[in-house]
Structure 1
Amino acid sequence: MKDNYQKLFQDFTFKSGVHVKNRLMMAPMTTFSADENDYVSKDELDYYRERANGVGTIVTACAYVSKNGKGFDGQMGIDHDDKIEGLSKLADVIHSGGAKGVVQLYHGGRLAVPRLIPNEETVSASTVAPLEDRGFYSIKQSPRALTTEEVYEIITDFGEATRRAIEAGFDGVELHGASGYLIQQFVSPHSNKRNDEFENRLLFSLKLIEEVKKVINEYAEKPFLVGYRFSPEEPETPGITMKETFELIDELIRADIDYLHIATTDAWANPRRGIVSEKSRTELIAEYINGRIPLVGVGSIHTPKDAALLVEKGKTDFVAIGRALIVDPHWVEKVQNHEEESISKQLKQNEQHQAVIPTPLWKLILEIEGWVPIER
């Protein structure tokens, strides 16, 4: 292994006490492959098992915490105790390769898919329709604003989901506060027009963390971490800019969580507006954090050089790898074993089973041009 890759393989202990063997994470990526009841499927177990041997941490595909928060076909749920058995099998699969398992907790809010939720009624911080498609579906209908009581019910749902993750044997949860979903809808000046206590746009996130940590204190018998994923900017005006993100970061650090995880498709993208800088958003965020909390960087990390550069130049503490691990499940082991030249850079059209990719995910890889590198 090359010297400049050594930092990627340093172990780390989070403040919660969770110990990981290296600085490489599998990024949370939707598989669309839960079974018809939104339980973890055998195909998902096989998919994660194949990728659990190298990375120090696997952050699972997002799991919805409330029935009205489902955002994808084939999305796994963590909304009911019946789901614990399958989640436990997933935790065991992840641990079998030496990785730690973190469940990403999610509510789609106004980006939930109407046909997948009760009464086809989407909900959000306020009655503000999404301006653009942010995922695999285009959601155009206006949501109903949640009542204050309903907001607290969803906070309880996140807490109950955390309890289920603990009982299933996971090592942590990550709050999905990115990509335009419900948590971000409360943070955003575009989508939060409330006139109750939650007009404080950071309060929902802080209440979630408070509830999750209360549940951990009550139920966890081993170290259990809390992470938070955020999108640093929004395209809408008004919307989240780096200014709002820095304010959020300060509050999340005060809330004493284990790590922050940037959500971006390109780790080196520059700020959209509000800050004029030659530096990337990743660099600016790392500078602002200044070592106060571990930072996970992500976005178009395809080669070990990409990952090493993100740690060295981007100053992140961890690197989350997404599509590169879909293409080559053994990316990390190959780097560690001095075999980086053998890393697969694209899939072939007959390699679904060799790469252990569930069929729903494989179909999307074939359909969405440019999403995952594939030989056409």
Structure 2
Amino acid sequence: MDKKFEPLFEKVILPNKVELRNKFVLAPLTHVSSNDDGTISDVEIDYIEQRSKDVGLAISAASNVTDLGKAFPGQPSVAHDSNLDGLKRLAEAMKKNGATAIVQIHHGGAKAMPYLTPNGDVVAPSPITLQGDKQHTPSFEKEEHHAREITQEEIEHTIKAFGEATRRVIEAGFDGVEIHGANHYLIHQFVSPYFNRRDDEWGENRLKFPMKVVDEVVNTVKAHADEDFIVGYRFSPEEAETPGITMEITEELVKNLIEKPLDFLHVSLMDIHSKTREGKYQGEERIKLLHQWIDGRMPLIGIGSIFTAEDALEAVESRDVDLIALGREMLLDHNFINKIQNGKADEIISEFDPDREDKHDLPPNLWEQFNKGLYPLPRTDGK
């Protein structure tokens, strides 16, 4: 290995004393490959084993905690005890080569797809109508759909569902969970003034729902797991909608989260160097602000358009991130990390090639989505 890449392979110790073998994280990638009932498929096992083999921390695809929260075709489920057998297989595959493996627990909220939910029912913090192809990337629905306001009773049930999902993850043998509070899904929606226009306690304090979810998950871990079980939280720092989440709102969110017994925060970005859109922090790099606000309390995972070994090194050497998540790049080349370790960084595949016979070793459904251009990434055909 070229000596300059050694910082990427330094160990990272989480607040709960768990040691990660390097600074690479497998991002929670939507693979649309689970069985229709949310159970784990054979195709999914092969795919996740390949992409977990070299990372320090592997995060599974977003897994719905209730049937009402299903947002993708082929989405894995952690909503039922009947999911446990498949989840055990998934945990074994992800941990097989030494990675620390966790499940991202998720509820789609307004982004749930009516054709995937019971009776086509969709809930959100406040009533809203969404146009699938404009407000969802990748788009799994082109038709307009309506989400009704979630009731107080359903809010309480959903919070408990995150706890029950965590229990199942523990029983399946995983090392932790990541709470999905990003990308316009339910937890994010409660934080957002665009999605959350309620006039009750859940609207007057838009951070109440995410904090209650965190508390429920943490309490479940205390009741059912060892001290080395990991709990992380993913969030989006800004949104384009008006009025939407601003960096000022995210500052408040982060300062609340770092008071919780979490083991990492994970920011969702398309470009790790992206800059704040507006407000008092306009023009400043989001990742730098976030790292300052976290103030060393827990590691920050950064992600966004890292397609080469040099991209990863630059991010780590900036000292604004503690761990680097690989998303689209790990789909293009699951040997990304291995190639760096073996002095073959120049052989990394950083473009989607629709003519590759091995189809990048992607599950068929995911390869089709790449080929259709549903994910923004470099391509050999220039499309």
Q: Into which bin does the TM-score normalised by the smaller protein fall? A: over 0.9
* Alignment of 1:119 onto 2:119: yes
The answer to whether the 8 Å contact 1:111/1:139 transfers is no
1:319-373 Cα deviation digits (max 9, x unpaired):
0011111111110111122211111222433436463211100110111166344
Which residue of structure 2 aligns with residue 43 of structure 1? 43
Report the Cα distance in structure 2 between the residues aligned to 1:305 and 1:277, rounded to whole angstroms. Answer: 27
The answer to whether the 8 Å contact 1:52/1:94 transfers is yes
Change (3 A) 1:97 1:354: farther
Counterparts of 1:272-283 in structure 2 under 5 Å?
272-283=277-288
* Alignment of 1:146 onto 2:158: no
The answer to whether the 8 Å contact 1:106/1:175 transfers is yes
Report the Cα distance in structure 1 between the residues aligned to 2:374 and 2:62, rounded to whole angstroms. Answer: 23
Structure 2 stretches lacking a partner, 5+ long: none
The answer to whether the 8 Å contact 1:2/1:338 transfers is yes
Q: Which moved more, 1:170-179 or 1:187-196?
A: 187-196
Which residue of structure 1 aligns with residue 92 of structure 2? 92
Report the Cα distance in structure 1 between the residues aligned to 2:307 and 2:380, rounded to whole angstroms. Answer: 16
> Which of residues 250, 261, 279 in structure 1 aligns to 2:255?
250
Q: Which moved more, 1:21-30 or 1:304-313?
A: 304-313
Q: Percent identity, aligned pairs only?
A: 38
TM-score, length-normalised on structure 1?
0.96
* Alignment of 1:343 onto 2:348: yes
User: What letter is aligned with 1:213?
Assistant: V
SS in structure 1 of the partner of residue 145 of structure 2 = coil
Q: Which moved more, 1:223-232 or 1:130-139?
A: 130-139
Report the Cα distance in structure 1 between the residues aligned to 2:226 and 2:298, rounded to whole angstroms. Answer: 24
> Which of residues 200, 206, 209 in structure 2 aligns to 1:196?
200
The answer to whether the 8 Å contact 1:17/1:224 transfers is no
1:242-300 Cα deviation digits (max 9, x unpaired):
00000000000111211111101111111111135543111221122222221000000
Report the Cα distance in structure 1 between the residues aligned to 2:341 and 2:46, rounded to whole angstroms. Answer: 23
Q: Which moved more, 1:21-30 or 1:289-298?
A: 289-298
TM-score, length-normalised on structure 2?
0.94
The answer to whether the 8 Å contact 1:148/1:196 transfers is no
Cα displacement (A) at 1:375 = 3.0
The answer to whether the 8 Å contact 2:73/2:116 transfers is yes
Change (3 A) 1:33 1:276: same
Change (3 A) 1:344 1:117: same
Change (3 A) 1:2 1:275: farther
Which residue of structure 2 aligns with residue 2 of structure 1? 2
Which residue of structure 2 aligns with residue 105 of structure 1? 105
Report the Cα distance in structure 1 between the residues aligned to 2:272 and 2:171, rounded to whole angstroms. Answer: 34
SS in structure 2 of the partner of residue 142 of structure 1 = strand
* Paired residue total: 376
Report the Cα distance in structure 1 between the residues aligned to 2:375 and 2:160, rounded to whole angstroms. Answer: 39
* Alignment of 1:57 onto 2:68: no
Report the Cα distance in structure 1 between the residues aligned to 2:313 and 2:123, rounded to whole angstroms. Answer: 41
1:88-107 Cα deviation digits (max 9, x unpaired):
11110111111111101110
